[in-house]
Structure 1
Amino acid sequence: MSGASQPTVGLRAGAGGKPPRATEATYAPGAVVPAATAAARGGATYVTEPTSYDAVLLLGFGGPEASEDVMPFLRNVTAGRGIPDERLAEVAEHYHHFGGVSPINAQNRALRQALEEELARTGPALPVLWGNRNFAPYLTDALHEAHEAGHRRLLVLATSAYSSYSSCRQYREDLADALAATGLADVLEVDKIRSFFDHPGFVESFVTAVEGAVAELAGRGRRRITVLFATHSIPTGDAERSGAPGRDLGPGGAYEAQHLAVGRVVMERTGVPDGVALDSALVYQSRSGPPSQPWLEPDINDHIADIARDAQETGADRPDALVIAPIGFLSDHLEVLWDLDNEAMETAAEHGFDAIRVPTPGADPTFVAGLADLVRERAEGRPRSQRAALTELGPDIDVCRPECCANARRPFAPAVAGVAP
């Protein structure tokens, strides 16, 4: 870091917008991790040196808040992929069904406030800033806000719990883009909280929700219940490359393995009423790629139809109820509302299944307390053995490895919080 107090070039404060792709990253002398704090510059897998952060930056995906925002938002999301407006217009109808407003920004406002209050109560008492990758409030403005407030060391909390290109590395690349575009790359130091898929605060919120749904269905006389753990599908090539290289976690890479592990823990911890049989499956939703490109399967709607068909063809007992648990998501944003509450629940009804879709963590106190613990984990430099994790895979690493979560369809771009490939 140069120690300069003012940016010399870049996107001005308040200009907003999704920044252009960065072509290079800024490193402190001798560092192997761009834009990192002193504790993380050397590239340690787990950072065990305490760091005095100035603020937490909640990094969201973003969403429209008016009908006229929908198409600009979708163009930001798909920038560089050559998707025509005609196709985007089809997706836009999902947003217009809800008045052109995605609930994700309101949910992040609530999460930001809850986390700041929790940190004030339990420490460290840090302000929580908020910026989005794809729509206002943009990440570039959040970085300017941090700089103007005198903050220099930021701890980033991405609103995604798992490892893959779209759920981790793309957030890190967008951070590098924003730092370059604002001219703050040699002024701000930025670390990122680890993938927290198996932190108790995240997992236990689903245990509580699934257990409540099972109890409700049992109260309706349902005795064979299947839990469908739902997450966003991604291209199989991205899944294979998810996580740090060199660790064989199966054909779906870290992304699929992490979801499977979380599902197992939820099932193990969920209390089951007497006389109720409970099983589960991992399913996917929200596929958006061309038909020629393989994505993770099964789709949740196809799987529900298959359950009904298989029982009819084989004569086996079929479930009389479904619990849909969106373990891939932090909040009830539009893809949860449309793809699960609309399409999946309709499919369940068509095939005669009683079904409940359980809530995501949102600003649940258990989840918020878990996020505060993750902030303390990095601020304290907590050793790996003392970090909270409920699966055999975790706790995940602090500093991503070279070629971590590669995207086979595009060359590597600068990214923060990781050792450069």
Structure 2
Amino acid sequence: MAAQNIGFRPKPPRASAVPPVADGCVVPAATAATCAGAPFATEPVAYEGILLLGFGGPEGQDDVIPFLRNVTNGRGIPDERLEEVAHHYRHFGGVSPINDQNRTLKAALEAELAARGLDLPIYWGNRNWMPYVSDALDAAVADGNRRLLALATSAYSSYSSCRQYREDLADAVEATGLGGEVEIDKVGQFFDHPGFVAPFAEGLADALATLRADGFGDDEIEVLFSTHSIPYADADRSGPPAGDGHEGFGPGGAYVAQHVAVAEAILQQLGTAQLETGIPWQLVFQSRSGPPQVPWLEPDINDAMAELPAAGRRAVVIVPLGFVSDHMEVLWDLDTEAMETAEELGLRAIRTPTPGVHPSYVAGLVDLVEERLAGTAPEDRPRATDLGPWYDVCRPGCCENKRLGFQPALAGAGR
């Protein structure tokens, strides 16, 4: 067994109970603007700091197995099986790029906040590696900041990309013993904010221009919008269930619906003909894990590419639509495995950039913060699809994970 990194600490345990709920409120540990559980916060809030929430990743070979133990916490997976996944990280020296990317994003957000005259310190914490969310919360309170707005580095609705971050917040409040002393709201899912969509549209336009300049016809190119696969059961329960004024989303839930809507919005930005009669495109999935008997969203990007030569395609543009930065799933599953597949099939392949610290993306995230500072009405919040703006307070039953059962969570109404 590899030695653990000096100073390693396991992630905090799962919360055993929801934090206190104020009189007349239904959302635990919330500000006055959200505690009653309305879908949108339309009152100004004087937040004192931002919690930047990340997934976390190892920063050396000795960190890889402890990190994967954190990711799979409670599932009883032996280290021998974890090592089968570890080779992705070991290929890159045991270092995930995600932590440095979040440090860079934090600095970019701080500069944008300062340029707008907003005095809001940012505290960064991760789900699965140090600094943990509890570390960020401790640091904020040590600085005297107790009314906080959480911003997760994840744009779409699902258990792992939204609900679990809300559970992380509840875990952190209990681990720090700060129940009843802090107020924490969360920025809603931002999949269709123009600042998130713009970098993808720009990257796709550049890639298509390159292929056309190299002599590829539009009927020889296919655009693959790629995102992380999740179990069908989790996808179907992503977003709020039918009821509570919502009709539900059907197969694939909000997770698939949001990705399809953003893909269409990107193509519309390139011109209406691009969407209606232009280059073929499809939503594909990657990074599947878990037992083979559990069905996950398909088609896998490699399987989808295998079908393209017979359809007359000679080139693909891979748009990493589900990812905010070039972390491990992008570097390994797209830049390594998918590119190898494309080469084997004789396909020219271009992978477009993720938002990273693109100026539009950074500015868009600060726009989202300002919406909550000002209590901007939902109809006045610019969004690129008809699905948005997404909820400031997650709805009852949103992104349920029946395998794990509901855990205490913040920033949501009811269970």
**Structures share fold, TM-score greater than 0.5:** yes
Aligned to 2:305: 304
Aligned to 2:3: none
List runs of 5+ in structure 1 lacking aligned partners. Answer: 1-13
Distance (whole Å) between structure 1 residues aligned to residue 284 and residue 344 of structure 2: 18
TM-score (normalised: structure 2): 0.94
Distance (whole Å) between structure 2 residues aligned to residue 304 and residue 388 of structure 1: 35
Paired residues of 1:59 and 1:130 also in contact (CA < 8 A)? yes
Aligned with 1:229 (options 225, 231, 234): 225
Aligned with 2:18 (options 18, 25, 36): 25
Give, as a single letter, the amino acid of the residue that structure 2 aligns with 1:361: P
Is residue 99 from structure 1 mapped to residue 93 from structure 2 by the alignment?
A: yes
Shift in Å, 1:225: 1.5
Distance (whole Å) between structure 1 residues aligned to residue 286 and residue 77 of structure 2: 20
Give, as a single letter, the amino acid of the residue that structure 1 aligns with 2:413: V
Aligned to 1:264: 264
Give the secondary structure class of the aligned counterpart of 1:83.
Answer: coil
Distance change >3 Å, CA 255–CA 127, structure 1 → 2: same
Equivalent runs, 1:9-408 vs 2, <5 Å: 16-26=9-19, 27-223=21-217, 224-246=220-242, 247-270=247-270, 277-308=278-309, 311=310, 316=311, 318-408=312-402
Give, as a single letter, the amino acid of the residue that structure 2 aligns with 1:407: N
Deviations 1:264-313 (A, max 9, x none): 1111112699xx951210000001111100110000001101223xx2xx
Shift in Å, 1:420: 2.3
Give the secondary structure class of the aligned counterpart of 1:278.
Answer: coil
What is the percentage of aligned positions where both structures have the same residue? 61
Give the secondary structure class of the aligned counterpart of 1:213.
Answer: helix
Distance (whole Å) between structure 2 residues aligned to residue 48 and residue 16 of structure 1: 39
Distance change >3 Å, CA 81–CA 123, structure 1 → 2: farther
Distance (whole Å) between structure 2 residues aligned to residue 196 and residue 397 of structure 1: 10
Aligned to 1:413: 407
Aligned to 2:4: none
Give, as a single letter, the amino acid of the residue that structure 2 aligns with 1:19: P
Shift in Å, 1:31: 1.6
Distance (whole Å) between structure 1 residues aligned to residue 39 and residue 11 of structure 2: 30
Give, as a single letter, the amino acid of the residue that structure 2 aligns with 1:141: D
Distance (whole Å) between structure 2 residues aligned to residue 82 and residue 297 of structure 1: 27
* Structure 1 residue ranges (4+ consecutive) displaced by more than 4 angstroms after TM superposition: none
Paired residues of 2:240 and 2:248 also in contact (CA < 8 A)? no
Give the secondary structure class of the aligned counterpart of 1:260.
Answer: helix
Paired residues of 1:51 and 1:379 also in contact (CA < 8 A)? yes
Distance (whole Å) between structure 2 residues aligned to residue 16 and residue 363 of structure 1: 29
Give the secondary structure class of the aligned counterpart of 2:119.
Answer: coil
List runs of 5+ in structure 2 lacking aligned partners. Answer: 1-6
Deviations 1:21-54 (A, max 9, x none): 1111121222200111111110110110100000
Shift in Å, 1:82: 2.5
Aligned to 1:4: none
Distance (whole Å) between structure 2 residues aligned to residue 73 and residue 128 of structure 1: 24
Deviates further, 214-223 or 193-202 = 214-223
Paired residues of 2:113 and 2:120 also in contact (CA < 8 A)? yes
Distance (whole Å) between structure 2 residues aligned to residue 81 and residue 240 of structure 1: 23
